[in-house]
Amino acid sequence: MAEERKDNIILIGMPGAGKSTLGIVLAKILNYDFIDADLVIQNQCDKTLQKLIDACGPEGFIEVENQILKDIEATKSIIATGGSAVYSEDAMNHLSSIGRVVYLQISFEELVNRLHDLQERGVVLKGGIGMSLRDLYDERKPLYEQYANITVNVDHLSITAAARKVADALK
Ligand SMILES: Nc1ncnc2c1ncn2[C@@H]1O[C@H](COP(=O)(O)OP(=O)(O)O)[C@@H](O)[C@H]1O
Ligand SMILES: O=C(O)C1=C[C@@H](OP(=O)(O)O)[C@@H](O)[C@H](O)C1
Ligand SMILES: [Mg+2]
């Protein structure tokens, strides 16, 4: 089997870190394609993410996300994952095999600033709807750290400044 190319850039991080918005700016800076994994999921399931989460529950959604992400094929693309992708080991192993994984890191305070309404944004709360943002942050932080090849802190940066910082970190 031909060796897989590793020329993609995979963005991981908390919901609201800027993976989707920064990703497209980064794609323009680097002359890459852009794929938002959330849109691939919506498209394949023909449902909005929130409807999918409501219909399947957190564990069911994670399974759907895993099945779809582990088969994503791309070259020279920025792939913005959903914040819950790191719960899926197969998906993350596959994504790591086709690209460099960049963790867009934000502090807990920044997460609070950016995410006012968790449910409206469609966030997977494994611990149920009683789960606090603090619980979510603490549960996920080690997972993002585990899969990151490169970590870029984007607190207090505009989307463009953050995209430039990521581009520099990739040099
Ligand atoms: N660097 C930033 N500074 C300020 N707001 C940001 C920044 N990055 C993203 N946002 C805002 O946060 C929200 C979530 O961004 P989004 O790209 O959807 O994040 P993600 O895909 O990581 O969940 C959007 O309203 C976006 O405008
Ligand atoms: O963090 C999460 O649990 C989720 C984040 C969403 O994507 P963003 O990280 O792009 O907001 C989306 O994948 C899904 O609804 C679950
Ligand atoms: Mg997104």
The mean per-residue pLDDT over the stretch 108-121 comes to: 78
Ligand 3 center to residue 9 CA distance, Å?
A: 15
Tell whether 44 is covered by a domain.
Answer: yes
Query: 18 CB less than 6 Å from ligand 2?
Result: no
Tell whether 81 is covered by a domain.
Answer: yes
Ligand 2 center to residue 16 CA distance, Å?
A: 8
Residues contributing to the annotated binding site for Mg(2+): 20
Tell whether 2 is covered by a domain.
Answer: no
State how many domains the chain has: 1
Tell whether 60 is covered by a domain.
Answer: yes
Tell whether 165 is covered by a domain.
Answer: no
CATH number for 62: 3.40.50.300
As for the ipTM of the complex, it is 0.95
Ligand 2 center to residue 28 CA distance, Å?
A: 23
The total number of residues written for the chain in this structure:
171
Best of 21, 44, 50, 123 for a ligand 2 pocket test (most atoms within 8 Å of beta carbon):
123
Tell whether 166 is covered by a domain.
Answer: no
Nearest CA to ligand 1 atom 12: 16
The mean per-residue pLDDT over the stretch 88-111 comes to: 97
Query: Residue 146: which pLDDT band, with cuts at 50, 70 and 90?
Result: very high
Tell whether 169 is covered by a domain.
Answer: no
Residues contacting ligand 1 via CB (< 6 Å):
13, 15-22, 80, 83, 114, 154, 157-159, 162
Tell whether 54 is covered by a domain.
Answer: yes
Q: What is the number of the ligand closest to the CA of 125?
A: 2
Query: Residue 123: which pLDDT band, with cuts at 50, 70 and 90?
Result: confident
DSSP string, 101-165: EEEEE--HHHHHHH-S-HHHHT---TT-TT--HHHHHHHHHHHHHHH-SEEEE-TT--HHHHHHH
Range of the domain at 43: 8-160
pLDDT of amino acid 1: 43
Nearest CA to ligand 2 atom 6: 82
Nearest CA to ligand 1 atom 27: 21
